[in-house]
Structure 1
Amino acid sequence: MKPVLLVLVFLSEEHRALVAERFDMIYAPNAQLGADRGNGEAQIKARGHEIEVVLTNGTNGLLAGEIDRLPRLKLISTVGVGYENVAVERARERGIPVSNAAGTNDDSVADHAMMLLLAAVRRLPFLNSGVRHGLWRDDIPRPPQASFRRLGILGMGAIGKKIARRALGFHMEIGYHNRRRREDVDFTYFEDLASLARWSDFLVVAAPGGAATYHIIDRAIIDALGPQGVLVNIARGTLVDTDAVAEALREGRLHAAALDVYENEPTPPAALLGFDNAVLTPHIAGISPQAIDASVRKFLENAECFFAGKPLVTPVY
């Protein structure tokens, strides 16, 4: 018999068919993120005693109480890198391994980060809209260039390093703040985030979510970045204080912000919607056909290793 799998995230028809080759799949993507557990809650209630594997993501996660209601649970996996809402400690207590899809969407996220940065620096949304209403270049201040500027990166993990590699193509000087200095990069390391922000022309947030980084980008960091600075977030919405960003844009203390993620997703960040120097995309940086396919296949690879008694390919712990 195939193991019973609960899927809490959207999968394409093609990927559902691929997964169903190896699992008795309960497909129950949550209709809403956050507190509303939606379809998944109903399936846990109805078939929790059967479920052996759960496929989720960092935003939906799998709560401690849900793990407790799955007595046969053997493996938890996430598509994408994030697992901030998976109760990892409860899984550890139960001896349930957790895997993610590390390395499958790094290039997509890094591409998107550079797109957001360039769009914000060069005021792309404003220019695109303006042309449709008769705007010509002589009517506006000249937007600055991105090349030969200073880029600060919060979080020099796999994605941070790929963003840096792309920025080098624009002859940018790279600085970073991380939990610790990395020996495998020769970029300028800053012991604290405020120092990095003061040094930077642009600041890209690429650090993990969770309680330790909640609102790590606050008014003080934004003011350190300064009125010509550009803030980009492709990590998790909780890292950035949305109201602080809105106040800074309103008061001219920040040149622009570009966010692929924001607090209270999927509800749009109302405080930022009125600014043409706030570039917003719907948490899509890591979503490309190539990345999604690689992520699903990484899950299947991890599951195959687990049921064969081999080490997971990308274990969280």
Structure 2
Amino acid sequence: MAQPKIAVTIPVSDNCLSRLSSSYDVITLPGGLGSGSPAISFEDVWAVVTNGSTGMSDAEMALMPGLKLACAYGAGHENIDIEAAKRRGVRVTHAPNTNMETVADHAMALMLAVARDICVRDRALRHGAWDGIRGARPTLSGARLGIIGLGNIGKAIAKRAEAFGMSIAYTTRNKVAEVSWQHHADAVALAEASDFLIVACPGGPATRHLVGKAVLDALGPEGFVINVSRGMVVDTEALVIALTQNIIAGAGLDVFEGEPNLPEALRDLDNVVLTPHMAGRSPASEEAQIDVLLHNLQACREGRPLTAQLA
């Protein structure tokens, strides 16, 4: 019997491809469905592996009349057309909680790196500097942390920050009943009450440019913003103005608009620490994501319930 055909439309590790290929006929299209040869037929594709950034549109689903399952590799799923999937009878899953600890660790690393000016001083020290780079820098202990979004990742960040002696506040549409941290009605009010502002909310139209001029102005000249969410949540133009005009002190960005192309205006700024959308990547999180993916593929083949089903 022929193995079911799967289209992998995002970059994944050799380990993931190897484990998939042991049970499935895999088409690799790391640049998306449109990145392959025009000769590739999708008519018999049974499942697609994508993510929140690449997503999957109604038009793409229409290319695959045999499609039964779309798996978001990770927690994000904002660019998958869930309503179209429901209409077409395509089941959709994602993998929440598989990388939240890694993302939380990375958020703390970015916060420390930009606050303590580690990257700039590392480079300067390697070129012979000493006295001129030993000036005092902000510390986390006693500082006020605001978190935009208090899902599992936001909560994991908050717990780490408490261990650093930070006070915690957050903003969400509704107050989270099971936590005692201070809730603010909106991002502007939260920024006014924060020294560090971490963006950890979902992406999508509802949060596009949520962090813009008003929020950055409220954060102020001693404030830092960290984004481990989606690039679209932070208004790049407003952020560049805030960073170059000392409206805020600095930023740590794992994500940015237009990635993988880094906005030119951010490239040479010393008060920004940048990483290439890798906050959720670690050996442990990858294994967990692969396990969820393989489980859902097999469960779908067998008509069993799926983990974290969205449609």
Establish whether TM, by shorter chain, passes 0.5.
Answer: yes
Counterpart position of 2:70: 76
Helix, strand or coil: the match of 1:248? helix
Shift of 1:86: 1.2
Contact 2:141 2:164 in 1 (8 A): yes
- What is the 5 A alignment of 1:60-75? 60-75=54-69
Instruction: Tell me what 2:139 maps to.
Output: 145
CA deviations on 1:90-137 (whole Å, 9 max, x unpaired) are 101112111011111111111100000001111111211121233224
Residue-by-residue CA offset, 1:136-164 (whole Å, 9 max, x unaligned):
24555311111111100001001001001
With normalisation by structure 2, the TM-score equals 0.96
* Residues 283 and 139 (structure 1), Cα distance of their counterparts in 2 relative to 1, 3 Å cut: closer
Match of 1:7 in 2: 8
Find out whether 1:136 has 2:130 as its counterpart: yes
* Partner in structure 2 of residue 93 of structure 1: 87
| 8 Å CA contact 1:150, 1:199 repeated in 2 | yes
Answer yes or no: is 1:38 the counterpart of 2:35.
yes
Q: Is the 8 A contact 1:302 1:314 kept in 2?
A: no
2:209: which partner in 1? 215
- Paired amino acid for 1:16: L
* 1:1-317 matches, cutoff 5 A: 1=1, 2-30=3-31, 37-39=34-36, 42=37, 46-137=40-131, 141-317=135-311
Equivalent position SS for 2:45: coil
C-alpha displacement at 1:283, in angstroms?
0.5
Report SS of the residue matched to 1:116.
helix
2:121·2:133 contact (CA, 8 Å) conserved in 1? no
Bigger Cα displacement from structure 2, 297-306 vs 160-169:
297-306
- Determine the C-alpha separation between the residues in 2 that align with 1:37 and 1:232: 33
CA distance in 1, matches of 2:218, 2:13: 43
Please, what is the CA RMSD of the aligned residues? 1.5
- How much identity, in percent, do the aligned residues show? 39
Deviation per CA, 1:30-60: give whole Å up to 9, x if none.
Answer: 1xx7xx9312xx47x6321100100011111
Show structure 1 runs of 5+ residues with no match.
none
Q: TM-score scaled by structure 1?
A: 0.94
1: CA distance between counterparts of 2:224 and 2:243?
10
Output the CA distance in 2 between the equivalents of 1:186 and 1:79. 32
Task: Give deviations 1:248-298, integer Å, cap 9, x for gaps.
Answer: 111111000110000000001211112111111111101112211211111
CA distance in 2, matches of 1:290, 1:314: 19
**Are the aligned partners of 2:194 and 2:219 in contact in 1 as well (CA < 8 Å)?**
yes
- Residues matched between the structures, number: 310
